[in-house]
């Protein structure tokens, strides 16, 4: 049987359990038609690139599916009719990867790096909120003193 990856976006005002319930419904539809869900990933509540039906965020879910084409057509039809699903996209793939998808792998890397501290002031920083530094190397020195120290080094 062919393999598919299906990603759907649910409205932001539903809970994660309701999104899982939608995925369970699609798995039941596939089971009736001789297919099965091989992989399931919940990507979380993420911002949308543009508003869809007045929503700025959505719950993303990835399903890795092994099913006949007729079963996939029924799943796409059911997702299109479901009132909580904003968008769905299904593609045919050669193999379903067992490793976490790129979205989850990226999220894991961000957690590993952790907090690196506040960002340094950039070249075009506004200057607000920056405290002065008392250390000698950061204090402004008069021009004459700079010229004298350079002459001594030569």
Helix, strand, coil shares of the chain as percentages rounded to 5? 35, 30, 35
Contacts of 103 (CB under 8 A, 6+ apart): 41, 43, 60, 62
Q: What is the mean pLDDT of the chain?
A: 83
Q: Decide if pLDDT at 10 tops 80.
A: yes
Contact 10, 19 (CB under 8 A): yes
| 14 vs 147, residue with greater confidence | 14
Spans of all domains in the chain: 3-96
Annotate 9-47 with b (16+ C-beta within 10 A) or e (fewer): bbbeebeeeebeebbeebbebbeeeebebebebebeeee
- DSSP assignment, residue 76? H
pLDDT in tens, 121-152: 666 655 555 555 555 555 566 666 556 656 66
pLDDT tens sequence across 37-60: 999 999 999 999 999 999 999 999
CATH topology of domain 3-96: Alpha-Beta Plaits (3.30.70)
């Amino acid at each position: 049987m062919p393999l598919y990856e299906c990603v759907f976006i649910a409205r932001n005002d539903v809970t994660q359990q309701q999104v899982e319930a939608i995925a369970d419904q699609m798995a039941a539809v596939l089971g009736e038609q001789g297919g099965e869900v091989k992989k399931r990933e919940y990507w979380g509540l993420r911002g949308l690139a543009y508003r869809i039906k007045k929503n700025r965020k959505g719950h993303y879910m990835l399903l890795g599916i092994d099913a006949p084409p007729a079963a996939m057509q029924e799943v796409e039809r059911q997702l299109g009719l479901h009132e909580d699903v904003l968008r769905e996209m299904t593609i045919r793939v050669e193999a379903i990867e067992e490793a976490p998808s790129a979205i989850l792998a990226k999220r894991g890397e961000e957690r590993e790096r952790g907090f690196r501290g506040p960002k340094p002031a950039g070249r075009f920083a506004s200057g607000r909120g920056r405290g002065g530094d008392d250390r000698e190397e950061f204090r402004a020195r008069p021009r004459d003193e700079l010229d004298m120290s350079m002459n001594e080094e030569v």
